[in-house]
Amino acid sequence: MKQLWFRKLLYAAMIFLVFFIGVFIWADNELDTVLGKSTEVINISSIVKPSTTIQIKNTNILSEDCTYFIKNQDVIIKNGKIINLGENQLLDNSSTIIDGTNKYLIPGLIDSHVHLKESKNDLFLYLVNGITSVREMAGRPITLE
């Protein structure tokens, strides 16, 4: 009788242990997904086109004090810096031209409270959504990678 009771207890403990390990593996996998560990790294070389000069034509630019838009302006960017702003700017054919008609150009946004995950794409995703500066709250060394 004691042996039967001990066997049942042993089987119950084994079932509980297998269930507990299964839940732990599932939760660990879900946490990795949330943190971005399983996210495939984006190859930005196919998105970013090397060009020394970019011209954005006919765009509406937000004013410095953010109270109005300056309509139909051309923006010339050379080596990553805005060098000229005005109407009907002329450039040579080697520059990349972006049509900004009926679109708006605003300064980069700042998100001063972010929690970056472990995905290598996090900062790129901020950038493509207009956020050019972030302040990471955890300050973990993995962020610098």
The tens digit of pLDDT for each residue in 30-86 reads 888 877 777 787 887 777 666 688 899 999 998 878 788 999 999 998 887 888 888
pLDDT of residue 8: 87
Q: Within a 10 A sphere around the Cβ of 115, how many other Cβ atoms?
A: 9
**CATH superfamily of this structure's domain 49-106:** Urease, subunit C, domain 1 (2.30.40.10)
pLDDT of residue 59: 93
pTM: 0.55
Of 76-85, 89-98, 131-140, the range with the lowest mean pLDDT is 89-98
- Say yes or no to pLDDT of 122 above 70: yes
Length of the chain counted residue by residue: 145
- In sign, the C-alpha dihedral spanning 32, 35, 37, 40 is positive
Give residue limits of the domains in the chain. Answer: 1-35, 49-106, 108-145
